[in-house]
Amino acid sequence: MTLRSVVQGIGHYLPDRIVPNSEFEKTLETSDEWIRTRSGIERRHFAADGQPTSDLAVRAARAALTNAGLVADDIDGIVVATSTPDLTFPSVATMVQKELGMTRGFGFDIQAVCAGFIYALTTANALILSGQAQRVLVIGAETFSRIMDWTDRSTCVLFGDGAGALVLAAEEGTGTSADRGILSSDLNSDGRYRDMLYVDGGVSTTGEAGKLRMQGNPLFRQAVEKLASTAEAALEKIGLTGADVDWIVPHQANIRIIQGTAKKLGLPMDRVIVTVQDHGNTSAASIPLALSVGVASGKIKQGDLLLAEAIGGGLAWGAVALRW
Ligand SMILES: CC(C)(COP(=O)(O)OP(=O)(O)OC[C@H]1O[C@@H](n2cnc3c(N)ncnc32)[C@H](O)[C@@H]1OP(=O)(O)O)[C@@H](O)C(=O)NCCC(=O)NCCS
């Protein structure tokens, strides 16, 4: 008998305010056409003034619990992937814990920027397999609109706000790749790429949150290469290949990166969950958002083999193979 971390429920939340590309035409030298063709993004959601990341996270968490038919007290731990927390501390996870009325268990945040949800899933899986927890709420929640330089057209049109959450729970499997749940993961980082994507502020340097800075073009080239190799590494660990994958659930940064990675893996675009047109890049929230939308639309079905992959600041990147 092999212990597996199986997804028992999923949900998401997007803030009410939808911002179409045309809105940027009013203040920047840009166009809907440029944004659409270069990134695939058509619109994104922005959190309301005064609406913090924890608010988005709580709403996504409630949706996931409802979907799983569980209540907060059924959960042993909360892991939130975010790079845009409400405060320097405490963690967003403990804020979610309080709002859900959960008085036991643990909560902490993980910061691996756009790869955050892959890191959070891998960590939650390890906690479950080691017997630390039976059920973990894994959340990706971001308000990247708060760290945009609104005068920088090469970054501010690309990002959005949102949150997605899922409940991972211990179940017994057979130890083969036919099991439901997380089957493998592959994590990587390389700090030499720091300047490719970073925020120019922080607690121990400027004392301010700072704004996002990005070298889009070199990052683009790194992304396709590294995403394809981490995806292949995750599959190799369980003796599978791209041909076995039912759905790629990629980090939603740019449709051209998504297409390039799918091509390298030998998969057609009709086996890829794509939400970048509606959400933009929501960093650590993008994979759980795409998963939740993919499930709600009826595309992702129980038993499907999913491959989630992401890359972001650090650089940090990775992939998780799981059977739904
Ligand atoms: C940012 C990105 C969309 C730009 O696309 P690109 O094809 O690489 O475009 P370039 O950066 O080469 O820029 C091409 C031109 O468009 C211009 N441009 C940039 N942003 C623009 C905008 N919003 N509107 C109009 N023109 C824009 C640039 O100034 C440049 O002009 P120049 O040739 O006169 O210097 C793309 O590089 C990308 O998505 N990179 C990866 C981003 C990413 O994945 N980030 C997160 C990882 S988590």
**CB of 201 closer than 8 Å to CB of 209:** yes
- For the Cβ of 227 lying below 6 angstroms from any atom of ligand 1, the answer is no
Matching residue, tokens 């030298």: 29
Q: What is the pLDDT of residues 100-125, one digit of tens each?
A: 999 899 999 999 999 999 999 999 99
**CB of 313 closer than 8 Å to CB of 114:** yes
Task: Measure the CA–CA gap between 163 and 55, rounded to whole angstroms.
Answer: 9
Spatial CA neighbour of 247 closest among 303, 173, 317, 310: 303
Nearest residue CA, atom 12 of ligand 1?
A: 217
pLDDT of residue 5: 98
| 21 included as an active-site residue | no
Task: Measure the CA–CA gap between 111 and 284, rounded to whole angstroms.
Answer: 9
- For the Cβ of 112 lying below 6 angstroms from any atom of ligand 1, the answer is no
Burial class (CB in 10 A: 0-12, 13-18, 19+), 119: buried
- For the Cβ of 154 lying below 6 angstroms from any atom of ligand 1, the answer is yes
Mutate to test the pocket of ligand 1, among 220, 224, 230, 251 (most ligand atoms within 8 A of CB): 220
Domains and CATH numbers, the chain: 2-173 (3.40.47.10), 181-323 (3.40.47.10)
**What average pLDDT does this structure show over 35-53?**
98
- For the Cβ of 271 lying below 6 angstroms from any atom of ligand 1, the answer is no
Q: Given a cut of 90, is residue 61 above it in pLDDT?
A: yes
- For the Cβ of 223 lying below 6 angstroms from any atom of ligand 1, the answer is yes
| 114 included as an active-site residue | yes
Q: Given a cut of 90, is residue 41 above it in pLDDT?
A: yes
- For the Cβ of 220 lying below 6 angstroms from any atom of ligand 1, the answer is yes
How much distance in Å is there from the Cα of 154 to the middle of ligand 1? Answer: 5
Nearest residue CA, atom 30 of ligand 1?
A: 154
**What average pLDDT does this structure show over 296-316?**
98
Q: What rounded mean pLDDT belongs to the chain? A: 97
pLDDT of residue 46: 98
Q: Which of these is catalytic: 12, 45, 251, 279?
A: 251
- For the Cβ of 224 lying below 6 angstroms from any atom of ligand 1, the answer is no
Q: Which of these is catalytic: 114, 125, 156, 279?
A: 114
Q: What is the pLDDT of residues 235-279, one digit of tens each?
A: 999 999 999 999 999 999 999 999 999 999 999 999 999 999 999
| 217 included as an active-site residue | no
Instruction: Please tell me what DSSP assigns to residue 208.
Output: S
Task: Measure the CA–CA gap between 62 and 51, rounded to whole angstroms.
Answer: 17
Mutate to test the pocket of ligand 1, among 38, 214, 281 (most ligand atoms within 8 A of CB): 38
Q: What is the pLDDT of residues 145-194, one digit of tens each?
A: 999 999 999 999 999 999 999 999 999 999 999 999 999 999 999 999 99
- For the Cβ of 38 lying below 6 angstroms from any atom of ligand 1, the answer is yes
pLDDT of residue 298: 97
| Confidence band for 314, pLDDT divided at 50, 70 and 90 | very high
How much distance in Å is there from the Cα of 37 to the middle of ligand 1? Answer: 11
pLDDT of residue 293: 98
- For the Cβ of 250 lying below 6 angstroms from any atom of ligand 1, the answer is no
**What average pLDDT does this structure show over 58-62?**
98
- For the Cβ of 108 lying below 6 angstroms from any atom of ligand 1, the answer is no
Spatial CA neighbour of 117 closest among 187, 44, 66, 193: 187
Q: Given a cut of 90, is residue 1 above it in pLDDT?
A: no
Mutate to test the pocket of ligand 1, among 34, 41, 217 (most ligand atoms within 8 A of CB): 217
| Confidence band for 49, pLDDT divided at 50, 70 and 90 | very high
**What average pLDDT does this structure show over 123-131?**
98
Sign of CA dihedral 111, 114, 115, 121: positive
Q: Which atom of ligand 1 is nearest to the CA of 283?
A: 48
CA angle 137, 4, 142 (to 5 degrees): 30
pLDDT of residue 69: 98
Spatial CA neighbour of 168 closest among 294, 64, 14, 296: 64
How much distance in Å is there from the Cα of 8 to the middle of ligand 1? Answer: 39
Strand 106-110 to 77-81 pairing:
parallel
